[in-house]
Chains A and B, each alone.
Chain A
């Protein structure tokens, strides 16, 4: 599946899919659920949260 195919199916631009892939943009919950639904996977299989180290 191309970025454009995914973008069309979840209702965003190809650049936004690219930004999500490169971790330059965190999508809204709605878009995250739509992406998970496209791949038929639970949300936590598609997205993982990595906590940033706390500032000292």
Chain B
């Protein structure tokens, strides 16, 4: 597996694990009907920091493990740039859909805590689709 594909797997897995736990906690709070937005701001910031730390640490480990592979140091070539562009396009669609759904949610009077978490969920899903798309293109070809 190439270093770029490994990086995509690391990003995908860290996002799903960290924000999966975050949204599980959001779901529990919503079911209890007593969400405290203040708590979740801290948890959101903590989740972002944790994702960054996990990605940096695992990327360093991957670079060490795959250090003999030429692509660790090589610049992205045309195929890799095309894969990124196509995957970014899917993520952009997700962002657009998420924004539209959030605006609709505001219009119908959904509570602010849910609106705020829609705004957290949209880029997270966009990133998951982006890295998932990269992996699919790396695996199946363009």
Residues of A in contact with B (beta carbons under 8 Å apart): 4, 7-8, 11-16, 19, 22-28, 31
Q: Is B70 an interface residue (CB 8 A)?
A: yes
B-to-A contact residues, CB < 8 Å: 2, 4-5, 70-71, 74, 77-80, 138, 140-142
The 8 Å CB contact of B80, one of A8, A13, A24, A27, is: A13
Determine the main DSSP class of A at the interface with B. Answer: loop
CA A26 to CA B141, docked complex, whole Å: 9
In whole angstroms, what is the CA distance A31 to B81 when docked? Answer: 14
Apart from A4-B70, A24-B140: 8 A-B pairs, beta carbons within 8 A: A7-B70, A12-B78, A13-B71, A13-B79, A15-B79, A16-B79, A22-B141, A25-B79
Contact A25–B142 (Cβ < 8 Å): yes
Give A8 to B73 CA distance when docked, in angstroms: 13
Q: A7-B70, A15-B71 are in contact. Are A28 and B78 (CB under 8 A)?
A: yes
B79/A19 in contact, CB under 8 A: yes
**Contact in complex: A14, B140 (CB < 8 Å):** no
Q: Which of B4, B70, B141 contacts A19 (CB 8 A)?
A: B141
Nearest neighbor of A15 in chain B, beta-carbon distance: B2
Across the two chains, which residue of chain A brings its CB closest to B141? A24
B142 touches A13 (CB 8 A): no
> Bound complex: CA of A19 vs CA of B4, how far in Å?
14
A24 surroundings in chain B (CB, below 8 A): 140-142
Cα–Cα, bound, A24→B140 (Å): 7
